[in-house]
Amino acid sequence: MRLTRYFLPVLRETPSEAQIVSHRYMLRAGMIKQASAGIYSWLPLGYKVLRRIEQIVHEEQVRAGHIPMLMPTLQSADLWRESGRYDDYGQEMLRVSDRHGRDMLYGPTNEELITDIFRSHVSSYKDLPLTLYHIQWKFRDEIRPRFGVMRGREFLMKDGYNFDLTKDDALHAYNRHLVSYLRTYERMGLQAIPMRADGGPIGGDYTHEFLVLADTGESEVFYDAEITDLKFGDRAIDYDSVEACQAVLEEFTSRYARTDETHDEAVFAEVPEARRRVARGIEVGQIFYFGTKYSEAMGATVQGPDGAQVPVHMGSHGIGVSRLLGAIIEANHDENGIIWPEGVTPFHCGIVNLKQGDDDADAACESLYQALVGKGLEPLYDDRNERAGGKFATMDLIGLPWRITVGPRGLKNGVVELTSRRTGESEELPPEAAVAKVAAIYEGR
């Protein structure tokens, strides 16, 4: 993409309404624009990152054996009356009626809709296990939408639902989700710690939230510092193996880590004092096992091996896809702007032409651009007639992990400059070597 042909409405001033750094940078980098309280338009740069995050979520869900689909945003109130949640959900639910006076709602989550699909089409245990998921916009009329996409009213969520014959099978589905979430967040450059939490309006008392530690997080968390040393990494995992998934769950949840809702001072006191941490975190996902809560209320039964009808065991599993942008920026920035992890960056590499209009510099930038595209990468070429300082400031703000700077002086010596956004370190290289190095960094991503 050439910057002169792109839509990147960067702001010079820091918007006064933004209280935390991720919100400020998302507005300043022209990623989002507020449409009304807690509701945002996703401008091209923000939309690009959102799509990258979605893609990682999809890939890891499919890898775990979960099946993608899509349900609507608007739902009929009748299903929610069956589960009893139409009244329980309260003012967070946006209720509307259609021209015939039928009660509808903008889905805050989808347990009812998916259970209705399940009961319409599945009648035998032989069709289990089954996990379906989608990535769809949700609406919760939050009392205090704030911090930009972090606590929105309209937000993008991945929500998945497992259907199993027995509790043990459903717990395996729970563990599979835990493993796939660890992989998902790590691919985005985040450490998200599973912590014992509360079921809230979804229900069930077996649930973990995934928290990214950050001072600006809304949740208070209590944990054993040892847990921050754990990494899933790129180890192979067989998602069909009950033992393998259970072992990961045990590894990642055996140390004390709880949100304030489930915190227990007496148990926490057993953690050696030097390792006890009280901090804040951003909840980027939550997994639930809630048994037969919805299947019993809504008659989602299957014929078991002995011929009897039994309600299925279920759980639901959410990832805050749009919230993740905020969380990633909170964890990856400096005073000049965002520092995207390579896994989610909107463009792989920036190209800064120090002397636009200089024949040699223009030609070198063009050929770098083509060479990067030829390697399957997406560069962002700042081809504006701007001072170098302005171009660097924009690149720093939008946070591309790598920048190639091209100027007449370097070209005389046959080199361009490759700079890491994260470390600030630069090296001079022949253009082909710079392209090869950037391509190698992204190989396999």
Q: By the criterion CB under 6 A, which residues form the site for ligand 5CA? A: 109, 140, 142, 151-152, 155, 157, 159, 202, 283-286, 288, 316-318, 320, 322-323
Q: Give min distance, CB of 107 to ligand 5CA, in A.
A: 10
Distance in Å, CB of 313 to ligand 5CA, minimum? 16
Query: Of the two residues 103 and 198, which places its CB atom closer to ligand 5CA in the complex?
Result: 198
Nearer to ligand 5CA, 218 or 226 (CB): 218
If one counts every other C-beta atom within 10 angstroms of the C-beta of residue 61, the result is 25
Which helix (H) or strand (E) segment holds residue 285: the answer is strand 276-291
User: What is the C-alpha separation between 174 and 169, in angstroms, rounded?
Assistant: 9
Q: Which two tokens stand for residue 142?
A: 């939050």
Nearest distance from C-beta of residue 388 to ligand 5CA, angstroms: 38
Which residue type is seen at 226?
E
* Cβ proximity to ligand 5CA, 285 vs 346, nearer residue: 285
Residue 307 CB, nearest distance to ligand 5CA (Å)?
32
Nearest to 418 by CA among 408, 335, 432, 409: 432
CA atoms within 13 A on the CB side of 178: 27
Q: How far is the CB of 92 from ligand 5CA (least distance, A)?
A: 9
CB of 173 to ligand 5CA, least distance (A): 13
Q: Residue with the closest Cβ to ligand 5CA?
A: 320
Strand extents, DSSP E, 292-378: 301-303, 309-311, 313-320, 333-334, 337-338, 349-353
Cβ atoms of 297 and 262 closer than 8 Å:
no
Q: Is-contact 194 227, C-beta < 8 A? A: no
Smallest distance, ligand 5CA to C-beta of residue 16, A: 22
Q: CA of 432: how far to CAs of 243, 363, 367, 400, 418, in Å? A: 48, 14, 10, 20, 11
Q: Of 146 and 422, which has the nearer Cβ to ligand 5CA?
A: 146
- Gap between the Cα atoms of 75 and 95, Å rounded: 10
Closer to ligand 5CA at the Cβ: 193 or 415?
Answer: 193
- Which of 159, 383 has the CB closer to ligand 5CA? 159
* Dist CA 52 CA 381 (whole Å): 20
In this structure, what token pair is assigned to residue 306?
């002995």
Cis peptide before 408 (omega within 30 of 0): no
How many CB atoms neighbour CB 320 within 10 A? Answer: 25
| Owner of token pair 């869900």 | 61
Identity of the residue, 207 or 332, whose beta carbon is nearer to ligand 5CA in the bound complex: 207
- Please, which residue, 139 or 232, has the CB nearer to ligand 5CA? 139
CB 116 to ligand 5CA: min, Å: 15
